[in-house]
Structure 1
Amino acid sequence: MKTRDSPPPVHVHVPETTPVHVHMRRSPSTTPQNRTNDAQVMGNGGRPKVRTPWIPPGRLSCRRDVGSYKCQRSRVQHQSESGFGHQRDAEEQEEELAAVTKNLSVLLREQESTRLKKGQHREKDMLLRALVEAEIDGVAVANQLTSLKETIDRLAKDKRISRLHTASLGRQQEVLLEKIEMFDHTNHSLRELLREWSDYERESLMWSEQKVALKKRMADSEAENIRLLAKLTNKEKEASKLAEHLDFEKDNAKTTEELSRILQSTRVHLESELNRAEAEKAHLAAQIQVCEHEIHTFELSDVDQLFSSVRQWNGCSCCC
């Protein structure tokens, strides 16, 4: 059960995949005398010392978006639990928040290194950082409200308000207003980042759709190129076959032309041979006619001689 002197819990939201290491150290309970002394010290000494906020390396525009108040804000600051100061409890709470802040710093550095390795996660890192800062500011405001409520309850029980109490309430009111202002600025910056992130997501979705459409067009173009390449290959094969057929026809034409020349020369030669044979035939026919005429003449002369010989023999026979 939480007592009035125990510090309020620190509630931080981080992603499931991000490891968070927190050191918790319990402080011994302080006595009322110590609390009174601490309240006097706080009343005389003013506010606790505020540490300089840790700014992770990398994107500076994220810090500019949050405003100039971040130069004065400390993530590890935690005011005292009661209206009387509770300086020792505040120091313990500050140490606890320092450990949490250290872990958050490690987280932010890891996120920053991831951003450097993967440029597409930059806006996500900014949004995560703003969410963590808003969570820390909300915790600080809640703690300050709890502290103020407990102070008011304590004053209601005491039923008397001294100058020290009035000063403490004034300081706590100022701190609360400062925390609320910081939280308001953080929420405003977070809303701006969320708006930018929404626009970025919308543009990313649009670019993604355009990328998908371009990929589809590229795929269709690749398919069309493959189809045209196959068609071109077939046409090249057909052209190669036609070229081979043309070469074959050219060879056939050359062969046919040579055969035509050979046939022409053979025809001329045969015609000349035929003419010579015809002339020789005519000459032989003339010789045959001459021979026949001579034979006929010779036969007639032989017949005449034979008749004359027969007549002569017949004459001799009569004389005898």
Structure 2
Amino acid sequence: MSSPIHVHVQDNTPLHVHVKKPKKGELSKQSSLHFKGGNDRHSVRPGPRARRKDLNGPWVPAPGKTSTRDKISKNFKWESDGSRLEVNQPQTNLRIHPSDSNPLRTSDLSTEEDNRLRQHLSEYEKKIENLMAEVGTLKNEAELIKVEQELEVKEGQLDASHAALELKKKELDFMAKEYKETEKENLRLRKSVDKLNSSLHQSDDLVITKQDQLLRKLVEVEVNGVEAAKQVAALRDVINRLKYEKRLSHSDVSLVAKHRELLLQKFEEFESTNRDTRRLLQTEHKTLSDVQRLEEQRDILMRKMADTDSEILRLRSEVTQKRSEVEQLESQISEEKNHAHTLNELNKSVDATRAHLQRELRAREMENNRLHVQLKNIERDTDAVRREAEEATASARLERETMAREKDGLKKATRAQRGRAEKAEESLRVIESRLDDRERKLDEARSQADAWRDRYQR
């Protein structure tokens, strides 16, 4: 069977087509007449960064209106940055026989080639989907690497926060221990001051009592001194009187003895009172020295207690500050834990997505390899078909006049092909809409990742 032919004629031109029955050995090669073998070094699979905008245009099996003088063959191309695929339709020369007047029948048109063309169109659509899936996979892997790096940074910051929190807790424990020791020391000093104050009060009472006793003793000493002075004066008068009279009567002797005994008695009382007074003065001096020493100790203890109170206030302020810092660190660590948990869940989801995409990618690669092998076979068959097409060119040239009378039928075939092309364009538009949807989802994922990064940076 010869290759399919596209002829553009005027609407009022009748057409008549003769269809040659293929041989038995050529049945397996009939589907290859639409393709011309290109360079084998061109890769079917484009690069991973191929974009939808790199396509030259929708792939259609037939062009628009042209004259009958134009060549029948048309090129179908798909290009990207890294690869190029070109499938050429073999050229045939037609000979139209005006002697034939039989009209073109619908049963004479081959639908097998259309089915194969539709099949190859779906295969190329699948290839385009595979390429876009590969692009999405690469972008997802880049996002995954970025998320993993952010997760590592977060883990490092979380470890540093844990270390800082442990250090702050140790400092807080040390300050709390020091605060307790200071409070114990302050309590001990307060007890000592209370004891000292009580002892000072007792000493003051004792001093007051001893002062009263000393005053009474001094009064007694003064009274005894006055009495002794009186006795001395009386004795002096008696002695002077006796010195002038030169005679001693019994009454004078008894008077002198009496004054002498009184004087000795007063002197003994004065000495006793004087000893008691000296003893009281010594006791008072000792008590005063003890009181002075206790007052000095009390002043020292009061200064120590004031210093301890100021130290306690300072430690309280530091403990309060440390507790606020610890609470802030705990809140930060809680937030970091929540964020790390979120990132971990995201990492798990991304890992699962990556594994799924890798499985899909391996399946797509296997499918692409299979399609590549099929394309090689098609190209090999196309070479054979090209040779047959060259042989069929001579017979097609003889049928050119016949094809002139069958233009109407070919026009219908052209319209049918145009309808198929429109369907192919519709399929491509569906593919483009899918690609747009996937790009939109990718942009949403990227914006979500940027939002997470901005939220972490805040």
> RCO (CA 8 Å, sep 6+): is it higher in 1 or 2?
2
TM-score normalised per structure 2: 0.35
TM-score normalised per structure 1: 0.47
